[in-house]
Amino acid sequence: MVGSELDQAERNAREIPHISGDLTKSETLNRCGIEDAKTMMIPLENDSETIMIALATRGLNPGIKIIATCEAREHVEMMRGAGIDHIISYAELSGRLLAHAVTEPVVVDFIMDATTSVEGFDLKQIKVGEKTRLADIPLGAGEKEIALYKSGRFIFEFAADITLDEGYYLVVIASSC
Ligand SMILES: [Ca+2]
């Protein structure tokens, strides 16, 4: 993780390797070993800065996975063009939540809870590394699989004794209550 505004204490607490610095400077990108990195997260509020950093990052590491936030919906396509793999659009997200809040406020509460690990329940993913029976994948106390995912599709109907090939993911809900 790299960023000038990341909460250092939180990063330390979670033991996530991190470097602080100006992302628009190649010195920072080099210092964080961008050429060997697997993932780049760009949580900036300035879309043009995000695009600049993504282009610089992609140039230094063609195989890296880039995740970024997007402030303006009309920049999403541009960000895709800049090689950003996963774009989180606040405008799109808040628009959807607002629309849902009118008719389905419980669903909005569910999404809000799911997106913060501080309280309530949590959602997590488990990657299936090799052919495994679903029943043999160990889950913690209070954890339950709610969906399977493969090749861009979620599967909600599946047998408890299904055998999963490599490439599947489990979406797991973790609740302490
Ligand atoms: Ca939560």
18 C-alpha to center of ligand 1: Å?
Answer: 24
Going from the C-alpha of 11 to that of each of 5, 17, 21, 86, 164, the distances in angstroms are: 11, 7, 14, 21, 34
* Å from CA of 71 to ligand 1 middle: 24
pLDDT at 6: 54
Cα 57 to ligand 1 centre (Å): 32
Domains, the chain: 8-92 (3.40.50.720), 116-174 (3.30.70.1450)
Dihedral over Cα of 159, 160, 161, 163: its sign: positive
How many angstroms separate the alpha carbon of residue 111 from the centre of ligand 1? Answer: 9
CA of 140 to the centre of ligand 1 (A): 16
* Full pLDDT tens readout for the chain, 177 residues: 555 555 666 655 566 666 777 776 778 888 888 889 899 999 888 999 999 999 999 989 999 999 999 999 899 999 999 999 999 998 888 888 888 898 999 999 998 899 888 889 999 999 999 999 999 999 999 999 999 999 999 999 999 899 999 999 999 999 876
Q: How far does the centroid of ligand 1 lie from the alpha carbon of residue 124, in Å?
A: 11
Give the CA-trace dihedral at 69, 71, 75, 78, to 10 degrees. -20
Instruction: Give distance in angstroms: CA of 161 to centre of ligand 1.
Output: 29
**pTM, 2 dp:** 0.67
Distance CA 150, CA 169 (A): 6
Ligand 1 center to 127 CA (angstroms): 21
